[in-house]
Amino acid sequence: MEQLEKTIERIEKPDMAMKKKAMQRLADQARPAGSLGILEPISAQLAAIKGTLDVHLTEKIVITCAGDHGVVKEGVSLFPPEVTPQMVENFVNGGASINVLARQSGARVMVADLGVNFDFSPEMPIFHKKVRKGTSNFTKTPAMTRDEAVKSINAGISIVDELVKNGNVDIIGTGDMGIGNTTPSSAIIAAFSGISPSELTGRGTGINDAILANKIRVIEKGLELHRPDPNDAVDVLSKLGGFEIGGLAGLVLGAAAHKIPVVCDGIISTAGALIAFELAPGIRDYLFAGHRSVEKGHRFMHERMDLVPLLDLQFRLGEGTGAAVAFQLLDAATRILAEIKTFEEVAIINAQK
């Protein structure tokens, strides 16, 4: 736990004096107050994180965490687990949806293997952080041990540490790949909120009514069997989660500790962010919700963390796609704060009196 605890201890409040200064500049700009909606508080939040009114998000990276899930054996997904390593290779080769959308946003994509049931070549240019080849089936046993849960979180923290050590990182987007991983993600928000899985569980990759009903039963069985402690995020992760979800939590914690803004993608990335939030509520100051997906549980995650999603594009893909698209809005937010002139700067007198 030492690495995790030390990382949490390093998370500080952003520069609130700079945030106040940013809000004042926004109020003084030559336009109606509040007329640029949520881009205004976003720009002030970024200013507080970066300690400047002129924020530049030049070095963008999406980190897509991958892992397999034992619960897939319960028939909760349309796709077989063999797709997970195939998609990792697609990400590396630049041919996936996230690669295309990240290029449009000026971001690079890197993949992290946290628990894929496949032996990748050590030379493959990914973060090799495998905890184990897939989680256990949580309808039978806990998804992982507590030590493995902590190891997965620490792996995400280490990725951020390595990125910072090797060069500048201005913003991180989180993404996922793992067949069946909407099931543990829905189970996680059910465990924290106490809300019935029937209200939280969506169709993932597009399952039919029969598979959806089975998916809900599977989550209910896991909750009843393990009774995860909602006051212990590591317990929830270990009993119901995924190695990539732990890695995603670590990315958020590591980013906050390094004062790097982080944009979470869909329900799986947000499940990781929720684990991080339950461990260290201070990460909220560094966290942005890229979008709201069609997955029912995603809304409950946002509400629990008091996050307003930047977009609602009816995405249900994952990979980091929503985060990549949201990068463009965050770029826009930085420019409205820095470049829109104030009434004083353009010599407009008594404009709002």
- The answer on pLDDT for 4 being more than 70 is yes
Give the confidence band of 352 by pLDDT, cuts at 50, 70, 90.
Answer: low
Mean pLDDT of the residues in the chain? 96
CA angle (181, 182, 185) in 5-degree steps: 90
Q: What is the pLDDT of residue 85?
A: 98
Domains and CATH numbers, the chain: 60-329 (3.40.50.10210)
- The answer on pLDDT for 249 being more than 80 is yes
Q: What is the pLDDT of residue 350?
A: 61
Give the confidence band of 33 by pLDDT, cuts at 50, 70, 90.
Answer: very high
- The answer on pLDDT for 353 being more than 60 is no
- The answer on pLDDT for 348 being more than 80 is no
Q: What is the pLDDT of residue 40?
A: 98
Backbone angles phi, psi at 181, to 5 degrees: -80, -5
pLDDT in tens, 62-112: 999 999 999 999 999 999 999 999 999 999 999 999 999 999 999 999 999
pLDDT in tens, 102-145: 999 999 999 999 999 999 999 999 999 999 999 999 999 999 99
pTM of the model: 0.96
Backbone angles phi, psi at 24, to 5 degrees: -70, -40
* Separation between Cα atoms, residue 132 and residue 111, nearest integer Å: 16
- Residues 28-49, mean pLDDT to the nearest whole number: 97
Q: What is the pLDDT of residue 349?
A: 64
- Residues 324-334, mean pLDDT to the nearest whole number: 98
Catalytic member of 148, 244, 278, 319: 319
Is 242 in contact with 143 (CB distance < 8 Å)? yes
Cα maximum dimension of the chain: 71
289: three-class secondary structure by DSSP: strand
Q: Which of 237, 318, 322, 328 is nearest to 277 (CA)?
A: 237
Is 319 catalytic? The answer is yes
Q: What is the pLDDT of residue 111?
A: 98
CA 314 to the chain's CA centroid? 17
Contacts by residues 129-134 (CB-CB < 8 Å, ≥ 24 positions apart): 129/155, 129/156, 129/158, 129/159, 129/247, 130/243, 131/155, 131/243, 131/246, 132/243, 133/68, 134/67, 134/68, 134/69, 134/70, 134/81, 134/243
pLDDT in tens, 262-299: 999 999 999 999 999 999 999 999 999 999 999 999 99
- Residues 164-179, mean pLDDT to the nearest whole number: 96
Q: What is the pLDDT of residue 351?
A: 56
